[in-house]
Structure 1
Amino acid sequence: MTAYAQIFYALWISLMFSYAIIGHLIQLCLHTVICFLGILMNGIVLLVYLRVPSFQTMTNMLIVHQSFIDFISSILFLFFYVCPLYGFQPTGVNGIVFCKCRSLYWILTAASKGNLLGLALERYYAVIYPIRYRYHFKKKTLRYVFVCIWIYGVTCESNLAYFGTLDENNKCTYNWSYKTVEVIIGSTVFTFECVLPLLILGFAYGRIACALGKPRMPTKIAKNSYIVTRNRNTAQRNVIITSITVSVIFLVCWTPNQILYLFLAVIPCDKPYCELNGFVHSITIFLCFINMMANPFVYALKYKAFRKSLKQLLSRVNNR
Structure 2
Amino acid sequence: VRLKGKKTDVVTDIHPCYEIDNFKYIWTSSPSIICVVLYIFLAILSIVTICGNLLVIISIIYFKQLHTPTNYLILSLAVADLLVGVIVFPFSMAFSLSSCLYHEDLFCKIRDGFDISLSTCSILNLCCISIDRYYAVCQPLIYRTKINDHVVVTMILVSWGVSAIVGIGVVIYRLRNEKCEKSFDDIMANTVGPVLSFYLPVIIMLCIYFKIFVVALKQVRSIQNTKSGGTSSKMERKATKTLAVVLGVFLVCWTPFFLTKNTTPVPVIEALNWLTLSNSMLNPFIYAFFYSWFRSAFRMLISGKIFQEIRLNLSHIYACTTLSN
TM-score above 0.5, yes or no = yes
Q: Which amino acid aligns with 1:41?
A: G
User: What RMSD in Å do the two structures reach over aligned CA positions?
Assistant: 2.9
Structure 2 matches for 1:45-124, cutoff 5 A?
45-84=56-95, 96-102=105-111, 103-124=113-134
Distance, in Å, in 2 between the alignment partners of 1:115 and 1:296 is 15
The residue number in structure 2 matching 1:130 is 140
The residue number in structure 1 matching 2:254 is 254
Question: Aligned pair in 2 of structure 1 residues 159, 284: CA closer, same or farther (>3 Å)?
Answer: farther
2:152 paired residue among 126, 142, 149: 142
Distance, in Å, in 2 between the alignment partners of 1:151 and 1:60 is 20
CA contact (8 A) 1:300 1:306 kept: yes
SS of equivalent residue, structure 1 residue 306: helix
SS of equivalent residue, structure 1 residue 110: helix
Q: Deviations over 1:161-214 (max 9, x none)?
A: 13557xxxxxxxx87633133213421122123321331221111111111111
- Residue 114 of structure 1: CA displacement? 0.6
Q: Which amino acid aligns with 2:205?
A: L
SS of equivalent residue, structure 2 residue 32: helix
Distance, in Å, in 2 between the alignment partners of 1:254 and 1:41 is 20
Alignment of 1:244 with 2:244, yes or no, is yes
Question: Aligned pair in 2 of structure 1 residues 61, 79: CA closer, same or farther (>3 Å)?
Answer: same
- Residue 159 of structure 1: CA displacement? 4.0
SS of equivalent residue, structure 2 residue 239: helix
Structure 2 matches for 1:266-305, cutoff 5 A?
269=263, 273-274=264-265, 278-305=266-293
CA contact (8 A) 1:38 1:70 kept: yes
Normalised TM-score (structure 2): 0.74
Say how many residue pairs are matched. 271
CA contact (8 A) 2:137 2:237 kept: no
Q: Which runs of 5+ in 2 are unaligned?
A: 1-18, 20-30, 309-325
2:207 paired residue among 199, 203, 206: 203
The residue number in structure 2 matching 1:177 is 181
Question: Aligned pair in 2 of structure 1 residues 176, 131: CA closer, same or farther (>3 Å)?
Answer: farther
Alignment of 1:191 with 2:184, yes or no, is no
Q: Which runs of 5+ in 1 are unaligned?
A: 1-16, 166-173, 220-225
- Residue 50 of structure 1: CA displacement? 1.9
Q: Which amino acid aligns with 2:193?
A: V
Q: Which amino acid aligns with 2:155?
A: V
Distance, in Å, in 2 between the alignment partners of 1:175 and 1:80 is 25
Question: Aligned pair in 2 of structure 1 residues 48, 192: CA closer, same or farther (>3 Å)?
Answer: same
Task: Select between 143-152 and 58-67 the one with higher mean Cα deviation.
Answer: 143-152
- Residue 64 of structure 1: CA displacement? 1.3
2:305 paired residue among 297, 309, 317: 317
Q: Which amino acid aligns with 2:203?
A: L
Distance, in Å, in 1 between the alignment partners of 2:306 and 2:128 is 36
Question: Aligned pair in 2 of structure 1 residues 51, 175: CA closer, same or farther (>3 Å)?
Answer: farther
Question: Aligned pair in 2 of structure 1 residues 142, 319: CA closer, same or farther (>3 Å)?
Answer: closer
Distance, in Å, in 1 between the alignment partners of 2:120 and 2:160 is 8
Q: Deviations over 1:273-304 (max 9, x none)?
A: 54xxx211111111012111100000000123
State the percentage of identical aligned residues. 22
